[in-house]
Amino acid sequence: MTIIYQWCKGLLLSFVASILFYTSIPLPYFQGLDFQGVAKFAPVVGLLIGGILTLLDLVLGWLGIPILTRSVLIVCVWAGITGGLHLDGAMDTADGLAVGNPERRLEVMADSATGAFGAMIAVAILLLKAAALTDIAQNRWFVLLAACSWARWGQILAIFLYPYLKPTGKGAFHKQAIRSYQDVLPGLVLIIVLSILPVIINRDYLALSLVTVVGGIAIAFITGFWFNHKLGGHTGDTYGAVVEWTEALLLCLMTAI
């Protein structure tokens, strides 16, 4: 019983550490928190974020807020919940990729000042999310949960598959934590199971579930692959960019269903 208790306690502390690292949700700081393995819990944190956004969407709908205003409010809260962590990474990555000299890209990405390309990419991502959500009138709960969880699994995939470009940095310890497929598969299995569960309740969800699973895996892989192709590896900024672009592109894909 003591071993089980210690295991459950360690799991809970790791999850709390993940919430504190990846979100701005106010939680008390517990003694013994270990932030080294927070990336393993990223998909679960994504489900938590998606759940919060779903509750907000339901409340706004109950209040009679029109779908466009509702969608914009959700996207704003979405960015706020993460503290802009991933969006900032997408902006820095865009500024770096805008540099013609590949040898200077990491230097530009490390600069805290936001350039024109970074600002444009931030606007583009937020607009894509808001527009896509506005076009999705039904099953918004499913869409929000799927986008948030698949995007964070894409981050884990990028951490595992590609080299980290800096000896140190805010994402370096993620690479130490995600070492094998055993660190990648649990999140994948969890999201696939949750994506298929609605089909058991209602077979009308079959097409939505299939497109979500196939599209989620494909987009998560493509975004990580593309940034690796452009930079020769990844940094903490590109991990954030993978999250943001996977969310935005998956939402756009799901408007077609």
pLDDT in tens, 94-128: 998 888 777 787 888 877 777 889 999 999 999 99
Q: Residue 164 pairs with which residues in a beta bridge?
A: 234
| pLDDT for position 13 | 80
pLDDT of 41 strictly over 80? yes
Residue 34 pLDDT class (50, 70, 90 cuts): confident
- Per-residue pLDDT at 234: 92
Residue 176 confidence class, pLDDT cut points 50, 70, 90: confident
Q: Where do the domains of the chain lie?
A: 42-254
Nearest to 40 by CA among 13, 20, 8, 15: 15
How many Å apart are CA 94 and CA 105, to the nearest integer? 10
- pLDDT number for residue 148: 96
pLDDT band at 1 (very low <50, low <70, confident <90, very high): low
Other beta carbons within 10 angstroms of residue 15's beta carbon come to 16
**Given this model, what pLDDT does residue 238 score?**
94
Does position 156 have pLDDT exceeding 90, yes or no? yes
Structure tokens of 88?
């900032």
> What does the pLDDT read at residue 166?
77
Asked if 234 and 154 touch (Cβ cutoff 8 Å), the reply is no
> Mean pLDDT, to the nearest integer, of 237-257?
94
Q: What is the mean pLDDT of the chain?
A: 89
pTM: 0.93
pLDDT above 80 (res 33) = no
Least Cα distance to 171 among 45, 35, 33 occurs for: 35
